[in-house]
Each structure stands twice: as structure tokens, then as C-alpha cells.
């Protein structure tokens, strides 16, 4: 017996095996969106506590025993444990929001440390039936024995299929929305002809369907069970599974049915041990969904290149959303005005199109934060429009991440910081593969003062989708600036794609001013005086609008004074 989560449980004690069973439920769940290293991290710290060694859990011991770092590891220099702990906390939160929402035991890792806390869920919540936990030792066996898992794997696949079908029905039949790209996920070929190969092919396919369905700008389809007709998809995702000793290989390709061209292909592999197989399915599905379905992904790139003469209303409405993402790569005011008009027509034609309402809200909010008037109060109307459009998006589809993103930004600029971050946290749990949202949420976290977690998310978003918004480079420049690395900040600024945006030049002036680079600072100040005089006149107000903490505001103001700006105290 262990005393578990005293503050949450009071005098209750939790059996060791119940806690280990809960750990097994989490590790084996497809909804536990964690890497292999993060799973080892969780298993290690849980076992340390259950074995009475909780006092040994430190960044140093985790780095050496879990991550394989050498004895010279210094947590002040290498932040790997802090970063992975942040990812692990988010993965746990998402698990308990999805398949773990009725689990009887909660495992959390409070911020500020790495020691897990065990607590009983409220008695009013129904407890999930206990499931067997497969130990690492029993999970190690050759491929021929994986066939014994066929019923369980197929059963799990059917559950995922049911969830995917629900997501499909919401996306494809909701009234008042245009038809968005349809992707048919074919049954994966089993090149071995064995039951094991069939089970793995079914599990991989259904997990990919589940992850793709979280993106609301595509419709995910499957071949009908009765062999009947389906609405013709524009894209077909096909795959094949092969087995080699102790491993499987998955080869995939996305086909454009218009001309039969292969617009994307990739291959993946994983081990046949039970834990490895479950982990590989989740990882592969996450990577495929991120590559194909997110903004600036493969489907987006294919559709941007597609030119349709005399397009029907459906295509014109969908094309409008594509133009929004093109605008976001430059933030040009002229493009913003054009996209606003297009989206306003779209929501008038399709009043329940949640994505269009969300993007229109983001356009209004961009007008509030990027169009800097002589009288700052005059931009308040744009923020009100943004909040109203965000509410429309969330009402139309509560799971639409673009709507949630707009809601988060509207709340943030209304100075409801905690509410904004709460919305962001929920939206990231809805779709942790949406790196566009991940970067935006990371920016909100950072600007609210949580630079550590926010900058880690921004880095992760960029690493998982290098072709995404290069406006995030400006945010990464701020991360480096606030950490004192001005050379790195200058490097990120040079990589940005928005040099015509006045805020880019304001940040650059602060970086160069703090670094003592007078020539560069003078150049940035001169650009602003000539091209954005209203910003120069209202520097403090504009900085305060964006940074939540007064100490961060004063640091930036101090840097701008070093760059030659005359800013009143």
C-alpha cells in the first residue's frame, strides 16, 4: 500500500497494483500521445514512487537512467528533462480528456517537479472496468505469437472505426457547410497473408483514420462494408504492410484521383512486441495526419496549386480558406482585406461553416493587432467582431480547432489571459497534431509570461512542420531575446517571412538595442518612423497589448530606449 496524493485523497491509500494497472492503461492507450522516451519517463517515475524511492526523482537521475545522458549532465545547461516533462504533462491531460475520462485513478506530475501524484477520481464518476496490464517481460515474444492478439487488436480497431465514423458523419452531413476535400483511406494490403499481418494492417489503418478525422477541413472516408457506392473522393490514401523478423513495415502513398498522380509517399516501421506495436501505431498515425491534413500540409499544397475556372460556390468557399493561409505567410494588409471580404461572403452563403467563421474571426483580430491607428481605441470594434465570429465558429462545431484558436486569441487580447490559455489547452488536447495551432498556443503561453513552456511548444511546432508559418520565427526571436541570446534572436529574425510588418521591426529594434548593435537599431527605428509613425507614437500601449506581465513590458521598453526610442515612463 502507498499513501497516494494526500492533498487530493485525504486518508485513503491506493493499492500498489491498482496504480500499476492505471499506468498500464495509460501506456497502452492510443490516446496517450507521447513518444517512447516520454513513456519510459512516466514508467520510471511511477515505479520509483511505488517502490518507495520517490525522493530519488530528480532531473539528474531521470536524465541518466531514462535518457541515457552521461554523469556530466547539467540540468541548468541541458533542459531536456524539463521539456519532456512538459510534453508528458500535456499527454496525460489529453489521455484523461479522452479514453481515460472514466479511469478510477488519476496520475499527474505537478509543475515544479517530476514526482507523480496518484489520486482517486471523484466517487460520482463511473469507474472503468479493470483491464489486464501486460508487463514488459511478457510483451517480448516473436511475431508468430502476435497472432494470439488478433481478436483484441481487431476489437480495438473496430472501436476506433466507430469513433472515426462519428467524426466523418459530423463533418460530411452538417448543413450549411461546403464540401471540403474527401480522403478515402483504403484497406491496407496485407502482403504476408497471415492473421498477424491482417491484424496489424487493420490497427494501423484505423488509427490513421482516427487521427486524420481530428482535422475538420477534410472529410475522411472508408470503403463501405457492403461494397456500395460512395461519394467520389479527390484523394485516396493507400498502404501495404509487410512483416520481417521482429518488425513490420508500412508503405503509404496519397493519390490524386484527378490525374492518378502520387502526391506523397512515405514508409514507416515498428517492432512486434506488444508495447512497441501500440506505440508505433500511435506515432505513425500522428505523423501521417500531421504531414497530410494540417495547414501547409500535403493536401493544402496540392489544393493551393489547383486552379478551377468558374468555380462553384462550394469550391469558392473552400478556396477562401486556402487564401487565408496564404495571407498568413506574409501578413500583408492588402491580402488581409481581400481575404476578409471573401470570408464574409462565405459565411453569408454557408452560415454553419465553422472553419470559415474561425478564420474570419482571426482576420478581424489581425486587424486589431496589426493595423495600428492614430487612436488605439478605434480598433476596439475589430476585436468585438473577432469575438462574435469566434462564438459563431464554436457554436457551429465545438471541436473545430480554428474556432477555438480564434476564441483563444479574442480572449487573450481582451486581457482574459487565464480563460484564453484554458481554451488553448483544451484545443491542443482535441488535436495535438495541428502544429499551426500548437505554435499559436505556444505564442500565447510565452507572451503571457510562461516563456519556458511556450517556447518549447513553438520549437516543437516548427520541428514537426518546418514548412509551416514562418511568422513563428519572430516568436522564436522573442524567445531567444528574453533568454538573453541576442545573436540567436537576430538569426530567427533574418529567417522570418514578414519583414514588411511593423511589429517585426519593433522586435528587431528591441533585440539590436539590447545587444548594443547601434547601426542595426538605428536602421530599424528609422524604418518605423517612416512607415509606422502611429506605432512609434504609441509604443508602450502596443507592447502592453501583447505582453501580459509588466516586467516583460518594461524590459522591452528599456531595450527600445537603448535603440533610441523616446518612450514615456
Same domain, 44 and 68: yes
CB 224 within 8 A of CB 165: no
Tell me how far apart the alpha carbons of residues 71 and 495 are, in angstroms, rounded to a whole number: 36
The answer to whether residue 328 sits within a structural domain is: yes
316 or 426, higher pLDDT: 426
Q: Are residues 271 and 318 in the same domain?
A: no
What average pLDDT score do residues 245-263 get?
90
What is the per-residue pLDDT for 468? 53
Whether residues 338 and 425 share a domain: the answer is: yes
Q: Are residues 158 and 279 in the same domain?
A: yes
Residue after which a domain boundary falls, among 57, 89, 120:
120
Find the radius of gyration of the CA atoms of the chain.
25
User: Do residue 410 and residue 377 come from a single domain?
Assistant: yes
Alpha helices in 29-79 (DSSP H): 36-50, 59-65
Q: Which pLDDT score is estimated for 162?
A: 39
Answer whether residue 494 is part of any domain.
Answer: no
Residues 250 and 162 in one domain: yes
534 within a domain of the structure (yes/no)? no
Does residue 286 sit in the same domain as residue 324? no
Do 219 and 267 lie in one domain? The reply is yes
pLDDT band, very low/low/confident/very high, at 149 (cuts 50, 70, 90): very low
| Residue that finishes a domain, picked among 239, 269, 294 | 294
**Helix residue spans in 213-372 (DSSP H):** 274-293, 298-305, 313-328, 333-349, 354-370
Q: Which helix (H) or strand (E) holds 196?
A: helix 195-212
Q: How many structural domains comprise the chain?
A: 3
Which DSSP category does 186 fall into? P
The whole-angstrom separation of Cα 355 and Cα 215 is 11
Better-scored residue on pLDDT, 173 or 460: 460
CATH value at residue 230? 3.40.50
512 within domain boundaries: no
State pTM to two decimals: 0.66
Quick one: 245 and 386 in the same domain? no
CB atoms within 10 A of CB 224: 9
511 found inside a domain: no
pLDDT of residue 104: 86
Evaluate whether residue 532 is within a structural domain: no
For residue 568, pLDDT over 50 is answered with yes
Do 21 and 149 lie in one domain? The reply is: no
Q: Which of 241-245, 291-295, 386-390, 493-497 has the lowest mean pLDDT?
A: 493-497
Whether the predicted pLDDT of 115 surpasses 80: yes
In a domain, 336, yes or no: yes
Residues 264 and 363 in one domain: no
Say if residue 8 is exposed, middle or buried (CB neighbours under 10 Å; 0-12, 13-18, 19+).
middle
Q: Residue 79 contacts by C-beta under 8 Å, 6 or more apart in sequence?
A: 452
User: Within this chain, do residues 285 and 322 fall inside the same structural domain, yes or no?
Assistant: no
- The answer as to whether 350 is a domain residue is yes
- Which structural domain range is residue 391 located in? 307-431
DSSP string over 358-405:
HHHHHHHHHHHHHS--SSGGGGHHHHHHHHHHHHHHHHH-TT-HHHHH
Phi, psi of 176 (to 5 degrees): 75, 15
pLDDT in tens, 165-200: 333 333 333 445 676 888 999 999 999 989 888 989
CATH of the domain at 368: 1.25.40.10
- Model pLDDT, residue 309: 58
pLDDT, tens digit, for every residue of 194-246? 988 898 999 899 899 989 989 988 889 888 765 555 567 889 999 999 998 88
- Taking residues 244-252, what's their average pLDDT? 91
pLDDT digits (tens, 9 = 90+) for 540-565: 999 999 999 999 999 999 999 999 99
pLDDT single digits (tens) 468-503:
556 688 999 999 999 999 999 999 998 887 778 899
251, 273, 294: which is the final residue of a domain? Answer: 294
Mean pLDDT over all residues of the chain?
Answer: 83
Amino acid at each position: 500500500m502507498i499513501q497516494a496524493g494526500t492533498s487530493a485523497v485525504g486518508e485513503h491509500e491506493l493499492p500498489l497494483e491498482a496504480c500499476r494497472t492505471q499506468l498500464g492503461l495509460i501506456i497502452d492507450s492510443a490516446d496517450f500521445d507521447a513518444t517512447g522516451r516520454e513513456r519510459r519517463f512516466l514508467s520510471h517515475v511511477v515505479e520509483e514512487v511505488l517502490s518507495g524511492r520517490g525522493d530519488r526523482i530528480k532531473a539528474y537521475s531521470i536524465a541518466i537512467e531514462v535518457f541515457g545522458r552521461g554523469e556530466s549532465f547539467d540540468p541548468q545547461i541541458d533542459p531536456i528533462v524539463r521539456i519532456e516533462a512538459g510534453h508528458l504533462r500535456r499527454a496525460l491531460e489529453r489521455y484523461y480528456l479522452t479514453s481515460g475520462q472514466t479511469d478510477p485513478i488519476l496520475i499527474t506530475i505537478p509543475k515544479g517537479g517530476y514526482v507523480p501524484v496518484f489520486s482517486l477520481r471523484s466517487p460520482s464518476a463511473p469507474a472503468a472496468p479493470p483491464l489486464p496490464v501486460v508487463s514488459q517481460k511478457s510483451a517480448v515474444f516473436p511475431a508468430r505469437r502476435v497472432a494470439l492478439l488478433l481478436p483484441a487488436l481487431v476489437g480495438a480497431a473496430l472501436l476506433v472505426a466507430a469513433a472515426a465514423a462519428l467524426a466523418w458523419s459530423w463533418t460530411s452531413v452538417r448543413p450549411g457547410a461546403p464540401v471540403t476535400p474527401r480522403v478515402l483511406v483504403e484497406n491496407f494490403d496485407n502482403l504476408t497473408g497471415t492473421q498477424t499481418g491482417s491484424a496489424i494492417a487493420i490497427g494501423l489503418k484505423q488509427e490513421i483514420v482516427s487521427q486524420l478525422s481530428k482535422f475538420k477541413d477534410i472529410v475522411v472516408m472508408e470503403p463501405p462494408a457492403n461494397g456500395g457506392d460512395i461519394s467520389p473522393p479527390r484523394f485516396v490514401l493507400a498502404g501495404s504492410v509487410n512483416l520481417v523478423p521482429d518488425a513490420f513495415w508500412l508503405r503509404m502513398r496519397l493519390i490524386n484521383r484527378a490525374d492518378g498522380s502520387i502526391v506523397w509517399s512515405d514508409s514507416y516501421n515498428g517492432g512486434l512486441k506488444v508495447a512497441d506495436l501500440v506505440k508505433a501505431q500511435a506515432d505513425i498515425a500522428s505523423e501521417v495526419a500531421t504531414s497530410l491534413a494540417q495547414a501547409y500540409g500535403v493536401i493544402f499544397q496540392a489544393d493551393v496549386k489547383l486552379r478551377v475556372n468558374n468555380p462553384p460556390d462550394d469550391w469558392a468557399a473552400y478556396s477562401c480558406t486556402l487564401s487565408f493561409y496564404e495571407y498568413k505567410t506574409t501578413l500583408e494588409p492588402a491580402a488581409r482585406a481581400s481575404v476578409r471580404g471573401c470570408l464574409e461572403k462565405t459565411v453569408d452563403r454557408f452560415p454553419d461553416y465553422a472553419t470559415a467563421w474561425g478564420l474570419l474571426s482571426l482576420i478581424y483580430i489581425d486587424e486589431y493587432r496589426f493595423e495600428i491607428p492614430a487612436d488605439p481605441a478605434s480598433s476596439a470594434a475589430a476585436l468585438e467582431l473577432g469575438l462574435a465570429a469566434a462564438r459563431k465558429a464554436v457554436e457551429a462545431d465545438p471541436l473545430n480547432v480554428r474556432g477555438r484558436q480564434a476564441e483563444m486569441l479574442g480572449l487573450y487580447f481582451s486581457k482574459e489571459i487565464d480563460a484564453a490559455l484554458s481554451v488553448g489547452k483544451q484545443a491542443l488536447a482535441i488535436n495535438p497534431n495541428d502544429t499551426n495551432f500548437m505554435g499559436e498556443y505556444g505564442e500565447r503561453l510565452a507572451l503571457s509570461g510562461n516563456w519556458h513552456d511556450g517556447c518549447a511548444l513553438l520549437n516543437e511546432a516548427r520541428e514537426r512542420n518546418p514548412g509551416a508559418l514562418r511568422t513563428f520565427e519572430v516568436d522564436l526571436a522573442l524567445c531567444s531575446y528574453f533568454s538573453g541570446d541576442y545573436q540567436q534572436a537576430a538569426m530567427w529574425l533574418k529567417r522570418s517571412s514578414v519583414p514588411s510588418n511593423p511589429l517585426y521591426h519593433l522586435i528587431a529594434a528591441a533585440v539590436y538595442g539590447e545587444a548594443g548593435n547601434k547601426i542595426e537599431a538605428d536602421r530599424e527605428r528609422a524604418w518605423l518612423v517612416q512607415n509606422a509613425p502611429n506605432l512609434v507614437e504609441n509604443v508602450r500601449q502596443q507592447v502592453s497589448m501583447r505582453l501580459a506581465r509588466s516586467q516583460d513590458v518594461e524590459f522591452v521598453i528599456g531595450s527600445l530606449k537603448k535603440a533610441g526610442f523616446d518612450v514615456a515612463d
